[in-house]
Amino acid sequence: MRTTVGIVGAGPAGLMLALLLQREGIDTVVLEARSRAHVEQRVRAGLMEQWARDLMIEIGAGARLVREGLVHNGIRLSFDGRLHAIDFRRLVGRIVTIYDQKEVVKDLIGLLLARGGRILFEAEAIGLGGLAGPAPVIRFRDGDAVRELVCDVVAGCDGFHGISRASIPDGVLTVYERGYPFGWLGILSESPPPADELIYAAHDRGFALFSMRSPTLSRLYLQCAPDEDVSRWPDARIFDELAARLGGSCPLARGRVLQKGVTSMRSVVVEPMQHGRLFLAGDAAHIQPPTGAKGMNLAFADVVVLARALAAWTRTGRTDALDAYSRVCLDRVWKAQRFSWFMTQLLHRFPDETAFDRRRRQADLVDLVGSAAAATALAENYSGLPLAAAALEAAAPFSVSG
């Protein structure tokens, strides 16, 4: 097989990249190890920044998002027994939207296939070769056979445990990593959410997050030990603890628990995000704690930069935008890491926390709800920093809203 850009992974990053390149007339093939049914049911968080929502609409994949997505003007902070609103629309003129990532994937797959794009499901990439040359090769399983996809460029969009990053020789990448001494115990509950916007609760007992998937379906999280045994948490105990960490700031409805699991918390960034003709995007290059809601948004930002650079290269033969890919992306990635760390340390109770630390965190929370400048900084970062247009002058003229 032959294509211009071989894309490993049919998650949000790989699918969005394929659609952006298709719009520029650049041929792609997407290889996905799992079945279409599995990919379209894979549960992930689904908060979209303003510009990411605009991008979905712009490429023609936003009809269900506009119809079914839950628009939020901001978030609520819960502490000292009260709810405090941070109004993004008023502060920075932007919104965020709750829309399940699996629904995003469904929309992108449907659009790409309807437009004649090529996605090979149950095609597991097992090796990358020739990355330093002009014609990299992706070896993949196709049933009982092993086939090869020859391409000009490989986009590694296959997540943290995928083969793309693992194919880069030792010593090329610098890996920055930080683990956190807690996880999130999360449930999906058939119950109305306690508010019409996300609630981030800071409490002496630990952090809690009150999110939603619909007006009747809640996604709820509790700070817990990173190795927490879920069997120790029957439904009643979870709801009791959630109510306790709300601290009486608002009532909490209880419902039937549909899912239950523990999410680990860590930050990882690899530099550079490229090696030869291989370009990493999304979780293949960086992961961050979910407190800042940056995962899918950063993946989209990466592939917008990559698509622009590839469009410029195929039009003119110039490589300056491709050469700058990692630098441009990492500027945004590190800002997102800083914000995710800020939100995580602000809201969680650390095992070695002192009385001084607790009072300092309390002062940070009071400052956020009492200072327009502090609230604006949070709103800017949470709702999505604009894409760095100046750094992309040499690339294709996409009209993504900032």
Instruction: Return phi, psi of residue 74, to 5°.
Output: 175, -155
Structure tokens at 167: 């194919």
Residue 19 makes CB contacts below 8 A (sequence gap 6+) with 59, 61, 108, 111, 112, 115, 117
Q: Which residues are catalytic?
A: 72, 200, 290, 294, 382
- The residue assigned the tokens 């294709």 is 396
**276 by DSSP, 3-state: which?**
coil
Amino acid identity of residue 153, one-letter, is V
Residue 343 contacts residue 291 (beta carbons within 8 Å) = yes
State the amino acid at position 248 in one-letter form: G
Task: Classify 377 in phi/psi space as left (phi over 0), alpha (psi -120 to 50) or beta.
Answer: alpha
Q: Which residues are CB-neighbours of 272 under 8 A, at least 6 positions away?
A: 173, 326, 327, 330
Encoded tokens for 351:
């095992």
Q: Which of 326, 268, 283, 275 is nearest to 172 (CA)?
A: 275
Q: Which residues pair with 262 in a beta bridge?
A: 185
State the sign of the Cα–Cα–Cα–Cα dihedral 156, 162, 168, 171. Answer: positive
> End-to-end CA distance of the chain, in Å?
37
Cβ burial, residue 353 (10 Å; 0-12/13-18/19+): middle
DSSP assignment of 70-130: EEESEEEEEETTEEEEEEHHHHHS--EEE--HHHHHHHHHHHHHHTT-EEETT--EEEEE-
140, 129 contact by CB (below 8 A): no
Nearest Cα residue to 261 out of 292, 219, 298 = 219
